[in-house]
A and B are shown apart, each in its own frame.
Chain A
Amino acid sequence: MKRVVITGAGTINALGHDVAETLASMREGRCGIAPLDVRDADRLMVSIGAQVQGFSSEGLFNRQQMALYDRFTQFALVAAREAINQSGLNFAGELAHKTGAILGNSGGGMTTIDENYRSVYEEGKNRVHPFVVPKLMNNAAASHVSMEFNLKGPTFTVSSACASSNHAMAQAFQMVRTGMSPVMITGGSESMLCFGGVKAWEGMRVMSKTACRPFSANRNGMVQGEGAGIFVFEEYEHAKKRGADILAEVVGFAMTSDASDIVMPSKQGAARTIAGAMSDAGITPEQVGYINAHGTGTAANDKTESAAVADVFGLHADTVMISSTKSMHGHLIGGTGAVELLACIMALRDGVIAPTIGYEEPDPECALDVVPNEAREAKVEYALSNAFAFGGLNAVLALRRAS
């Protein structure tokens, strides 16, 4: 088995247009949630979200590319450029043939779908733009990343709702670990903050109209976000030989299915996945200093996740730090695990634990150290990143500080 390290990271989300700005925002505990600026927002009952502000595709893509890229693809490309540029890798020859892009997302080109349904249903048009299908397909982002960077290896999209990115990264990890690919580009992106996207979520009645307050007794639901997180996963010797800067090491993962309910989370399923990731990494709870929680801010998730961590960590549950950065960047659904991995990297590399902001009242059912409201300095050797999706699909990653 090969060791797998992260040699590049990129992002765009409500907290920043790159990794440095995002991590600075997390350190400051800045909230990216604001009133939604989307068409027909006055018809929405949930009118807040963590939108990427000040983003313009002008100058980033040419006219022909813009006609082909839905917002979720644009986000993926912006983040991929940052990550691959940081890694210093150039994909040609054998490396290009073996490197692929495995990205997560849940909604595909939701903005494209929304705009074109409007035009045929609302405006009664009988003709749509020829690129509707290549824009909305869920694999568009992965395909365009592979095209821009000449990645000719295994490339596909993973879609498992809120666990999509973690499943994608687990798959990429597995490919590098087993020696199938020396390098994989992985992560995820999402852009559902359009009228139809938010409307669909409103229907579930689990969205907050005010704020995302994970683990707080007065939490009242999730808040959607958008953006992308992309990483370069590289085989350790390959990275070392070329003197690459190693951001962190990926050391284990686990994936499970609750096989019980389509929306309600399961403590047993979550616990089994957390324990499985540690077992795969060959570590014990005492070695884990930080957990980036799934922490959606719904009543059901946060108490179930807290109970699962308490079960698996035993006495150490009182000392491990666990925070939900969704309180700041919102829930990026299929892209969320990727943006949240940045918080794990910050904990391991910079010794800064991102806070759970908006925390107001302790909840006895979430009695863990949730790093409320303010970032904290701490030396962390291992970190976990949780994702527990609708459909009962769970994926947890384990990371180690670069050594």
Chain B
Amino acid sequence: MAEIKQKVVEIIAEQAVLEPSDVSMDHTLEDLGIDSLGLVESIFAIEEAFDVQVPFNANDPSESDFDISDVKSIVTGVEKLVAEQHS
């Protein structure tokens, strides 16, 4: 699980042009300066890194089945997707 968290943080940090150590769990994407395009790119990078399908529609992020409200929620979401994939 720690590996998943670390990798997600790396992906988000890269989009935000920050060091992974500068990204904290309660940061929102907005805090990190990641816009809608950056978000779609991050999700693509997550899918590629973990070989999962993230249920996300840019038309309505709030109604997508994937919580992007902060870094922690994204990590939790990815952990769940990875677990489902291996179950």
Contact = CB atoms under 8 A, between A and B. Distances in A.
A204 B58 contact: yes
| Listed residue (B37, B56, B58) with the most chain A CB atoms within 10 angstroms of its CB | B58
B57 interface: yes
Contacts of B57: 205-206, 220-221
A264 B36 contact: yes
Interface in A158-210: 203-206, 208
B17 interface: no
Interface string B48-75: 0000000011111000000000000000
Nearest to B37: A263
Interface residues of A, number: 14
| Listed residue (B36, B44, B56, B59) with the most chain A CB atoms within 10 angstroms of its CB | B59
B60 A205 contact: no
A298 interface: yes
Interface in A227-252: none
B44 A220 contact: no
Contacts of A219: 59
B56 A299 contact: no
What's the dominant secondary structure at chain A's contact region? loop
Given A203-B44, A205-B43, A220 B59 contact: yes
Size bin of chain B's contact surface: 10 to 19
A262 interface: yes
A204 B40 contact: yes
Contacts of A298: 58-59
Nearest to A299: B59
Contacts of A204: 40, 58
Nearest to A45: B53
A327 to B, nearest CB: 15
Contacts of B36: 263-264
20 contacts: A203-B40, A203-B44, A204-B58, A205-B43, A205-B56, A205-B59, A206-B58, A206-B59, A208-B59, A219-B59, A220-B59, A220-B60, A221-B57, A263-B36, A264-B36, A298-B58, A298-B59, A299-B58, A299-B59, A299-B60
